Structure 1
Amino acid sequence: MKTSVLISVMLFLLCGMAFIPTEASAGPGDTTVVQTFTFNWPGSPKEGTFLFPPADKRFEKILMYYTLKCDPKQNPACGEWDYLTYTRLFHHTGRFDSTGKEIVERYELGRFITPYGIGLDLGEGWTWVYDVTDFRQLLADSVHLKAGNWQELLDLKFIMIEGTPPRDVIKIENLWRGSIKLKEFAAKVPPRKIDLDPRAKMFKLRVTTTGHKFSNPTNCAEFCPKIHSINVDGVRRYQWQIRQECATNPLYPQGGTWIYDRAGWCPGMPATTQEIELTPYISGSSVFLDYNCEYDEYGNYIVETQFVSYGPPNHNRDAAVVEIKAPNRGEMYNRINPICARPLVVIQNTGAEILNSLDISYGPVGGNTNTYRWTGSLKFLEKKEVWLPAFNWGTWSGGNVFRVTVSNPNGGSDEYAYNNTMESHFETAPVYNSYLVISMRTNKAAYETYYEILNAAGKPVFTKKNLLNNAIYRDTIRLMPGCYEFVIHDYGDDGISFWANNDGSGSVIFRLTGGGLWKTMNPDFGKEWRMQFTYSSLVNVEEIAARPVDFSVFPNPANGALEVTYSVDVPSQLRLRLLDVLGRVVKEIDPGTVAPGKHRARFDISDLAPGNYFVALVGNGAVIRKVNIIIVR
């Protein structure tokens, strides 16, 4: 994708259809936004027909942005319970059955389970992203959609990135679907013979299955673990455990049992879709597929599956960066952000050639850039999370935008440049000039919990284990300047305070040795809670004032120049230093030995990036006075 995306803001309305097109000169990497339902759209669920780009327009990727916001007219505003909701496309085929009724095929673009809304605040909206590129042939011209529910407000838009996909969709077709009792699964989900499209070279099976009902001897199918599997021509080729972890949900805490592991879903998250690559196991003109799961007498599954046929890979040697998880200020990444240490990205092999090496360049736009050589082995369309080495971020201009670019796949040229670069907006991790004090009060299940401090490389430098019940601990974290991460773990996946157990309530409060309440951790965090922070070079240097010293800085905020006024009552050897938020000296004035009395100095700051800085008066190797300032433009 190009780093500058072209989006037209013109809204075209025709016969009740909404479409935000790009300019006629759009090319690869440019983006078309199709706005469908909005927060104020009437109806529950919402339904309408919308104009999409024509079928002959080629798109590299199509993303569905599903945004929910609390409805102030409801009580509670976010809805009390977790409900199943669907985003469905109704394909009008133009064919008719024997009664003269048009045949309309229904496709599920996405399934979502609403959060427990008591006490929940979604602000101006939370956005979940679905990759719906496989439905490109159906997302063309006039498209009939239905989505949403009667609780939360919904905004639904489609982000269509123009260009060449890794492979073209030839055909998508529904297979097994419906609400199916577990005890009837084998009968209702029989083996299927699929006649293959002669144009197709590659194949995938999409499976979205969620389990529901409990309060029975096995708590099936919402809470019971079951193995699901896919047989191809009689041979088991793929299997998965349907129950998934919910205690790391980014949308937390919720007003219900949000931490409990469930079958294929979690409250306040999209349902999980298994995307199963079948190409290695298919030959000939047809294939038999068989979907199985372990038996149970109770509960039911809601099943939706599609068989997707593709052409061959469009590129031989191509790699892409497909996600920046950290740094990223997006709601779905709040568990691991903000950061000051190792960025976390996802790369993908989008070429037919096995990917064994890749250069990854990264850094804030307008600041320092680092390059890392990744090595490994990725087949076509396989993805890999990559922890990039920590580096010196320095200072930067142009806002908090982080850029990642991949290049030199397997040491050669990349055949498709438009998926090589991605950017994210981010917030900076806090920087502190005095030590962190951690005050913890344990609950009645302290054996489940411990916390640790990790350095920039992710290695523990302090660990607090073997805690006692209902005890109070205070630790002052005395470490050298640098980036660190506080992590608290809970083996019970229920934090240190949760309404639906008998563990009682604990708490964690962070303070600074300089005084003041800094931050209180939400104890209803589920599995773990993380916070990165930086100790500046001033953290282990206390101000000294053996003799009275007047020290002032003007203006603050400052733009262009900074005036410093100071006075001493005895001859003194002094330096004035301007430091960035990490305590690095960016400018220095050395007046030498100054006589008693009042003195002035001037910093030229016209060449410095906007942000937070410190002005320090240093004498005899110690900081005598320091003042926090803000540089603006």
Structure 2
Amino acid sequence: MLIFFYKSKTNMKRKMMRKTNLWSMLLCLLTTTVVAQNSGSTVVHTFHKKTIVTDPSKGENSYKTWGVFPKASAAVRRMTLQLTLGSPDEMPTAHWDYCDVISIRRKGGVHGEDKRIEIARMLTPYGSIFGKGWQWMWEVDVTDFQHLLRDSVEIEYLHTGYEPNTVGWALTMDVAVQFGPSIAPLLGMQPLWNGKFKYGDSTAPFAAAVMPVRYTAPAQTSFSRVRIQHTGHGADKPRNCSEFCSRWRQILHDGKLADKRDMWKECSDNALYPQGGTWIYDRAYWCPGDLQRPDVIDMPAKSGAHQVDLQMEPYTATGNVQAYEHIGSYLFYYGQPTHQHDVLLEDIVAPSNKQAFTRYNPAINNASIIVRNVGSQPLKSLTIVYGTVGVAQKTYQWKGLLPFNQTVMIALPGAVDMLAKDNQFTVMLSQPNGKADAWPADNSLTTTYKAPITLPNVFVLKYKTNNRPADNYIALHNAAGEKQFEKRPTSTVANTEYNDTISLAAGYHRLQLTDTSGNGLQFWAQPQQGDGFLRLYDTTGRLLYVFESDCGAGEALSFYASPQYKPDTVNIQAAFSMFPRRTKDNIQLDIELSTAAKVAVKITVDGILHQLHEYRSMRNGKFTYSLLSLPQGRFVVDVYVNDVRKFTGRVNRD
């Protein structure tokens, strides 16, 4: 068993001063000196718009690059992996939801030891409807590996899958580094369970492959941490395990339950939507288009012998066993947290322009933040100062109970102020438990955010139900949270169009469409639920705004209602309805524009044009296109308005 021990200069000084009464004061002075020399932040660049494709002959394709990380002597507070996938310039975007692994391969130069330590896991989106210029960024904390991410490090992105290598992704990957005192001193680490383990195979039981691990914690250990990436794959009988079956997993430490959870994830509320495949289907602890957050489980542990065990819900498949559990896990030993009273502001969820928080924004009230307690004492109170730059700041006194290394999302009361189209919002934390924060450098953040669009204060809401109107609810609230309008499921019937004229006082409002079944008003793989839409018009019938029908759990629109609204005569608003998206013969495409324009409809597969339909001038139209001359498979329908792509939809010809 290989165990890494982190012998920093700080730990060596601790040992030398262990028997003196002055050791803690001297250590504090030393830490302060080190931090002062390494304050601030930096970004380490690795891949930049690297085109990645699959290797169908092997099912995986390895991409490696070297990054220059901070020196070993630098005091690192946090490291965050930032991963961006985009559409390549030279080929269409990849289609499938594959499981990709980001690993540390070597450090210290080309002759360094091949480590292959998984630090992150990416589940790629269904990208067939993403066109040129599209990209999306995800983030995940990788601080537990910061002792390895030093000096020259070789990083590997392992892209899996079997689709043709004529489609791909543009990969960009950076690591954001915050310097400062460690949250807790790392004393060592070791691998736990790493690999793809059969699940439900009576001839190769999971429990026999994933055995308990005994370990010896070094001196000064305060707690052990299990960091685990875990996804389920394959689909067998009788439960479609592991991709589409819910099952529990538990972690035992020294025979006692440390963690138990259901290995299941809701996907219909994914921030990245719509996608070109079955993105709304819940899965075995992952969703397409998601940089998976690892499970981090802290367990009290003193120096000496211990045991950690991973157990899964018993399951036996019938027939051909396809299920497997893909696990990457490591055990870390940490000393006592560095400070007693220490919080950090993890992120501002709303208001924010971050892609990860699209479903929360633009926000008109109740700004939301994520706070992490990194002090050894449970966090019970906190002072939060917040507000839009240029407006008087607000103060909120939070109270609760937050253990070490846990997070909480806090809603900050009041309206979100808007001064211009582009705004800045600041948050500052202070006085954790009424004490001075030990490291205030990570207590504040500033986000940029766009103000909501402007609409007339009197408009028409047009809602066409699909075949399951009982799933859908529409509600409109003002910035004070007061309900202004609602459309309840009990007041609607299937496949019916409703028109409501709404008159509002000037101010900010939020219109929310909720789908309780998580399949939106239309979903290509479920043509039986029909085709619905939600659109806004002015009182003259001019199109103002269109909700996405393929929205999973729903969609929201924040806007400013203005009696002085002036119509936008420059930008064309466009609405499209294509149904069915799974067919043997024909599809119908409905097009509605706010102004007459040139329109082109292109039907392609992997960038190859199969049909082109052009219209010199159109404002409204209903068109039926035959697919009988096309082979079976997946097609993409693009609609261009005045040479600008306004709509992309997937069609499956069965």
Amino acid in the other structure paired with 1:232? H
The residue aligned with 1:288 is 307
Equivalent-residue separation in structure 2 for 1:410 and 1:505 (angstroms): 53
Alpha-carbon offset, residue 498 of structure 1: 0.3
> In structure 2, which of residues 250, 254, 262 is the aligned counterpart of residue 233 of structure 1?
254
Amino acid in the other structure paired with 2:444? T
CA root-mean-square deviation: 2.5
Q: How does 1:486-501 map to 2 (within 5 A)?
A: 486-501=511-526
Equivalent-residue separation in structure 1 for 2:114 and 2:173 (angstroms): 22
Equivalent-residue separation in structure 2 for 1:513 and 1:363 (angstroms): 36
Query: Are 1:53 and 2:70 matched, yes or no?
Result: yes
The residue aligned with 2:101 is 86
Gap change, CA 1:118 and 1:131, over 3 Å in 2: same
Query: Are 1:477 and 2:502 matched, yes or no?
Result: yes
Query: Are 1:107 and 2:117 matched, yes or no?
Result: yes
Q: How does 1:571-590 map to 2 (within 5 A)?
A: none
Gap change, CA 1:418 and 1:537, over 3 Å in 2: farther
Equivalent-residue separation in structure 2 for 1:93 and 1:199 (angstroms): 28
Deviations 1:14-67 (A, max 9, x none): xxxxxxxxxx99855511211111114788532123322211111111111111
User: Is the contact between residue 224 and residue 262 of structure 1 (CA under 8 Å) also seen in structure 2?
Assistant: yes
The residue aligned with 1:508 is 534
Amino acid in the other structure paired with 1:448? D
Equivalent-residue separation in structure 1 for 2:466 and 2:416 (angstroms): 39
Equivalent-residue separation in structure 1 for 2:469 and 2:52 (angstroms): 49
Amino acid in the other structure paired with 2:49? F
> In structure 1, which of residues 316, 335, 353 is the aligned counterpart of residue 377 of structure 2?
353
The residue aligned with 1:140 is 150
Gap change, CA 1:131 and 1:102, over 3 Å in 2: closer
The residue aligned with 1:211 is 232
The residue aligned with 2:343 is 319
Equivalent-residue separation in structure 2 for 1:202 and 1:111 (angstroms): 25
Gap change, CA 1:213 and 1:41, over 3 Å in 2: closer
User: Is the contact between residue 264 and residue 272 of structure 1 (CA under 8 Å) also seen in structure 2?
Assistant: no
The residue aligned with 2:651 is none
Equivalent-residue separation in structure 2 for 1:268 and 1:321 (angstroms): 25
The residue aligned with 1:453 is 476
The residue aligned with 2:598 is none
Amino acid in the other structure paired with 1:83? Y
Deviations 1:55-104 (A, max 9, x none): 11111111111111112433xx221211111111124699xxxxxx9863
User: Is the contact between residue 54 and residue 140 of structure 1 (CA under 8 Å) also seen in structure 2?
Assistant: yes
Equivalent-residue separation in structure 2 for 1:351 and 1:419 (angstroms): 13
Amino acid in the other structure paired with 1:482? G
Amino acid in the other structure paired with 1:340? I
Gap change, CA 1:57 and 1:217, over 3 Å in 2: same
The residue aligned with 1:39 is 49
Q: How does 1:326-475 map to 2 (within 5 A)?
A: 326-391=350-415, 393=417, 395=419, 400-458=423-481, 460-465=483-488, 466=490, 467-475=492-500
Deviations 1:194-233 (A, max 9, x none): 1112132222111211111115321110000001101111
Deviations 1:574-624 (A, max 9, x none): xxxxxxxxxxxxxxxxxxxxxxxxxxxxxxxxxxxxxxxxxxxxxxxxxxx
User: Is the contact between residue 100 and residue 121 of structure 2 (CA under 8 Å) also seen in structure 1?
Assistant: yes
Query: More displaced, 314-323 or 44-53?
Result: 44-53
Query: Are 1:182 and 2:207 matched, yes or no?
Result: no
Q: How does 1:548-563 map to 2 (within 5 A)?
A: none
User: Is the contact between residue 368 and residue 396 of structure 1 (CA under 8 Å) also seen in structure 2?
Assistant: no
Amino acid in the other structure paired with 1:181? K
The residue aligned with 1:65 is 82
Return the TM-score normalized by structure 1.
0.76
Alpha-carbon offset, residue 457 of structure 1: 4.5
User: Counterpart of 1:186 in 2: which secondary structure?
Assistant: helix
Equivalent-residue separation in structure 2 for 1:392 and 1:208 (angstroms): 37
Gap change, CA 1:537 and 1:408, over 3 Å in 2: farther
User: Is the contact between residue 368 and residue 394 of structure 1 (CA under 8 Å) also seen in structure 2?
Assistant: no
User: Is the contact between residue 217 and residue 302 of structure 2 (CA under 8 Å) also seen in structure 1?
Assistant: no
Query: Are 1:269 and 2:287 matched, yes or no?
Result: no
> In structure 1, which of residues 295, 306, 310 is the aligned counterpart of residue 334 of structure 2?
310
Amino acid in the other structure paired with 1:78? T
Alpha-carbon offset, residue 484 of structure 1: 2.1
Equivalent-residue separation in structure 2 for 1:62 and 1:375 (angstroms): 28
User: Is the contact between residue 434 and residue 514 of structure 1 (CA under 8 Å) also seen in structure 2?
Assistant: no
User: Counterpart of 1:288 in 2: which secondary structure?
Assistant: strand
User: Counterpart of 1:343 in 2: which secondary structure?
Assistant: strand
User: Is the contact between residue 119 and residue 255 of structure 1 (CA under 8 Å) also seen in structure 2?
Assistant: yes
Alpha-carbon offset, residue 306 of structure 1: 0.8
The residue aligned with 1:522 is 548
Query: Are 1:245 and 2:262 matched, yes or no?
Result: no
Amino acid in the other structure paired with 1:464? K
User: Is the contact between residue 66 and residue 154 of structure 1 (CA under 8 Å) also seen in structure 2?
Assistant: yes
Residue identity over aligned pairs, in percent, reads 30
Alpha-carbon offset, residue 339 of structure 1: 1.7
Deviations 1:261-318 (A, max 9, x none): 0112111112342111112xx3451211110011222411111111111121111112
Amino acid in the other structure paired with 2:510? E
Alpha-carbon offset, residue 121 of structure 1: 3.8
Of structures 1 and 2, the larger Rg is shown by 1
**Contiguous gaps of at least 5 residues in structure 2:** 1-33, 54-60, 160-164, 567-654
Gap change, CA 1:350 and 1:103, over 3 Å in 2: closer
User: Is the contact between residue 387 and residue 425 of structure 2 (CA under 8 Å) also seen in structure 1?
Assistant: yes
Gap change, CA 1:474 and 1:355, over 3 Å in 2: same
Equivalent-residue separation in structure 2 for 1:105 and 1:371 (angstroms): 48
Equivalent-residue separation in structure 2 for 1:193 and 1:459 (angstroms): 57
Query: More displaced, 268-277 or 459-468?
Result: 459-468
Equivalent-residue separation in structure 2 for 1:122 and 1:456 (angstroms): 37
User: Counterpart of 2:413 in 1: which secondary structure?
Assistant: coil
User: Counterpart of 2:64 in 1: which secondary structure?
Assistant: strand
User: Counterpart of 2:333 in 1: which secondary structure?
Assistant: strand
Query: Are 1:152 and 2:169 matched, yes or no?
Result: yes
Equivalent-residue separation in structure 1 for 2:246 and 2:418 (angstroms): 48
Amino acid in the other structure paired with 2:511? F
Alpha-carbon offset, residue 449 of structure 1: 1.0
Amino acid in the other structure paired with 2:447? S
Amino acid in the other structure paired with 1:105? K
Alpha-carbon offset, residue 452 of structure 1: 1.0
Alpha-carbon offset, residue 437 of structure 1: 2.2
User: Counterpart of 1:334 in 2: which secondary structure?
Assistant: helix
Deviations 1:128-148 (A, max 9, x none): 111111001110112121115
